[in-house]
Structure 1
């Protein structure tokens, strides 16, 4: 038995949920597909699939073996790709994860240029503010903001995220403009809670060496950056969010900067991948592409003074 072929057949049967459909996809006789899976089960001495006349269901042992097969075949393809003469034109499936705001505002609009450069890569882009387990969830690499504490990940710092404090014009008209971070204790604020542990994050402000960190009152807390911005636009309260998600709304007059003399702690941005995983050509080119993308972005690049996000004619007087 060709073990790798048997693994490929097993994966296809699971993905299709049918021996017949798998045989069609693989252009193999149904009997060959069935024999390969049966031989695999005999060799492993475990039942991988439950078969009935109507459906095929994977067993718990089969589910565990399926995940390992997917990873093994991916590693084999990566190894072959890295040695092939087509190394400069990588191909195959690439799984990436990114925070929602970075995905929607930065990565996705730039992807046409990526696919023009690497047309043979098939990208699966996960978009969540929850920190995924790269190994457990089969993710090749991820873009992450904040300090890294996972020793099993290799990280490359590619940029920095800055924050702004804003509110809608209607909210400011109703409640006035805060003059000091402590004034926010008398305002409604939209809070952000960690998707990892559910903890509501404190707000931090720094000006001329003075630092203030406070927990602020709010009627709503969210854990998705795009939803968080929408809450601010809806007038639910003062928000603090990444500047690249707010600059267009400020320029259009939909949001008003608050406490412009105060800054929040910036977050480093890294692209990470598991240290025990072979860095394939497709992962390598994606890492380089994202690094170039951040380096060209005025709000995200490293070692660049933060530009003013507010045009002079849109800066408002305090009340």
Structure 2
């Protein structure tokens, strides 16, 4: 069977459908219409002489033959793309459209104030920055790289740790004046607490306190449950209750006395920040450049106690 551009294009479209799970999402990734995607797959099936996808009104999934075709073709197409990039020098050129899905706190405190430096360094690069608390489906949504706090879930994404930052338990002076200061973590059971809902699980984050290898869980009651980090912080500053925050970016509020760290003798709990991108043998230069830029901002693998001065911030 002669191999031509139509066969390669059809295989690329088929891979996008399998990886995204639908014709509509594949169309977004490929910049095509859903009907165009469907026709391309139909032509591929006619060309290879076997049905590759089961189609229903609710879902699209690969047949047994389609799964085998995907497993054999996916690495070949990845190799062709990598070879083309290397032959043309594109793998070393940082340019084009980079879609980033980033945690709101990291975007606001670290990335946004310095993103202009990356754009100045690479004039042919343009960045679409989405604030999102969950990684989501990068392939289906056409996202090049995501940045999120927390331990990575098992997936086919490549993961790179950027930093770890301490977890602080804090309150405003106004709250402490009205309700008193808890002397130990267990005293939180008698206080008003502000909880944050984990976007990935839909449940409030559990509170733990770490010291010299000891872990003390405390099932704190909440008087307020929020799903936005900014709202949680503002409510705490206004005296609505005690909350837990990441140390990253909190130093100005602590230094000004607007927030008080309640348990500095329990300093051991840290929370990691990771970058995620789709698994590829050769990630695009724009993705590598973005991750390297983030590492330069925070210091590779450093544990960040409070907001620190980044290189060039003087």
> What SS is found at the alignment partner of 1:290?
helix
1:232 aligns with 2:231: no
Equivalent residues of 1:128, 1:224 under 8 A apart: no
1:164 aligns with 2:168: yes
TM-score by length of 1: 0.69
> What SS is found at the alignment partner of 2:140?
coil
Equivalent residues of 2:164, 2:304 under 8 A apart: no
User: How many residues are matched?
Assistant: 265
| Distance (Å, rounded) in 1 between the aligned partners of 2:91 and 2:211 | 50
Cα distance change on mapping 1:15 and 1:158 into 2, 3 Å: closer
Cα distance change on mapping 1:245 and 1:276 into 2, 3 Å: same
Once superposed, which parts of structure 1, at least 4 consecutive aligned residues long, lie more than 3 Å away?
A: 2-5, 14-17, 39-45, 75-83, 85-89, 303-309
Structure whose alpha-carbon radius of gyration is higher? 1
1:221 is aligned to 225
CA deviations 1:228-263 (Å, max 9, x no partner) are: 211211211011111123212112222122112113
> What SS is found at the alignment partner of 1:101?
helix
Structure 1 unmatched runs, 5+: 18-35, 46-59, 61-74, 296-300, 310-319
Equivalent residues of 1:145, 1:267 under 8 A apart: yes
1:314 is aligned to none
TM-score by length of 2: 0.70
Cα distance change on mapping 1:43 and 1:212 into 2, 3 Å: closer
1:302 aligns with 2:306: no
| Distance (Å, rounded) in 1 between the aligned partners of 2:295 and 2:111 | 11
| Distance (Å, rounded) in 1 between the aligned partners of 2:147 and 2:230 | 17
Q: 1:95 aligns with which of 93, 99, 102?
A: 99
Equivalent residues of 1:167, 1:237 under 8 A apart: yes
Q: Within 5 Å, which residues of 2 pair with 1:72-221?
A: 80-85=84-89, 87-221=91-225
1:243 is aligned to 247
CA deviations 1:84-128 (Å, max 9, x no partner) are: 346544211111111110011111111011011111111111211
> What SS is found at the alignment partner of 2:250?
helix
Structure 2 unmatched runs, 5+: 13-26, 46-56, 58-78, 309-314
Q: 1:280 aligns with which of 280, 284, 288?
A: 284
| Distance (Å, rounded) in 2 between the aligned partners of 1:115 and 1:83 | 26
Q: 2:266 aligns with which of 262, 265, 269?
A: 262
| Distance (Å, rounded) in 2 between the aligned partners of 1:40 and 1:305 | 50
